Amino acid sequence: MIDSNISDIKWMKRAIFLASLGKGTTSPNPMVGAVILDKDGNLISEGFHYKSGMPHAEAMAFKNLKKDASGGSIYVNLEPCCHQGKTPPCVDKIISFGIKKVYVSIEDPDKRVSGKGIKLLKDAGIKVFQGLCERESFELNKAFIHRNINNSAYGVLKWAMSMDGRVGLKNGKSKWITNKDSRSLVHSHRAGFDAIVIGGNTLRKDNPLLTSRGLSNPEPLRVVFTKTLDFPEKSNLWNCNLAKTLVVYDASTANKKYLKRIPECVDIEAIPSDNPKLISDLLAKKGCNNVLWECGPKLATSAIKTGCIQELMTFIAPKILGGVGNMNPLADFEFTDMNEVFNLNCPEIGFIGDDIFVKSTFY
- If binding is defined by CB under 6 A, does position 107 make contact with ligand AOF? no
Among 58, 79, 136, 219, which one carries the catalytic annotation?
58
Please, which residue, 74 or 161, has the CB nearer to ligand AOF? Answer: 74
Neighbouring residues of 67: CB distance < 8 A, sequence distance ≥ 6: 38, 42, 44
- 37-45, 108-116, 122-130, 313-321 -> range binding ligand AOF (CB under 6 A): 108-116
Sign of CA dihedral 154, 180, 295, 358: positive
Asked if 141 and 172 touch (Cβ cutoff 8 Å), the reply is: no
State the Cα–Cα distance between residues 293 and 22, nearest whole angstrom.
22
Task: State the minimum distance, in angstroms, from the CB of residue 105 to ligand AOF.
Answer: 12
Contact residues toward Zn ion (CB under 5 A) are 56, 81, 90
Positions 60 through 99 that interact with ligand AOF (CB under 6 A): 78, 80-81, 85-87, 90
Please, which residue, 144 or 293, has the CB nearer to ligand AOF? Answer: 144
Choose from Zn ion, ligand AOF, none: what does 131 bind? Cβ within 5-8 Å by kind: none
Residue 301: HSE in the Cβ half-sphere, 13 Å Cα cutoff: 12
Task: State the minimum distance, in angstroms, from the CB of residue 301 to ligand AOF.
Answer: 32
- Size of interface with ligand AOF, in residues (CB under 6 A): 18
State the Cα–Cα distance between residues 158 and 60, nearest whole angstrom.
36
- If binding is defined by CB under 6 A, does position 121 make contact with ligand AOF? no
How many residues are given for the chain?
363
Residue window 125-164: x/- pattern of binding to ligand AOF, with contact defined by CB under 6 A: ----------------------------------------
State the Cα–Cα distance between residues 80 and 204, nearest whole angstrom.
46
Picking from 32, 16, 12, 41, the residue whose alpha carbon sits closest to that of residue 100 is 41
- The yes-or-no answer on residue 58 being catalytic is yes
- If binding is defined by CB under 6 A, does position 110 make contact with ligand AOF? yes
Task: State the minimum distance, in angstroms, from the CB of residue 287 to ligand AOF.
Answer: 10
Choose from ligand AOF, Zn ion, none: what does 49 bind? Cβ within 5-8 Å by kind: ligand AOF
Q: Are strands 355-361 and 245-250 parallel, antiparallel or unpaired?
A: unpaired
State the Cα–Cα distance between residues 330 and 64, nearest whole angstrom.
50
Please, which residue, 112 or 256, has the CB nearer to Zn ion? Answer: 112
Residue type at 3? Answer: D
Please, which residue, 92 or 269, has the CB nearer to Zn ion? Answer: 92
Residue 345 CA, distance from chain mean position: 18
Residue 177 CA, distance from chain mean position: 25
Q: Which DSSP helix (H) or strand (E) runs through 279?
A: helix 276-285
Picking from 149, 122, 133, the residue whose alpha carbon sits closest to that of residue 30 is 149
Please, which residue, 11 or 159, has the CB nearer to ligand AOF? Answer: 11
Residue window 24-53: x/- pattern of binding to ligand AOF, with contact defined by CB under 6 A: -----xx-x----------------x--x-
Residues lying near ligand AOF in the complex (CB under 6 A) are found at: 29-30, 32, 49, 52, 56-58, 78, 80-81, 85-87, 90, 108, 110, 113
Catalytic residues: 58
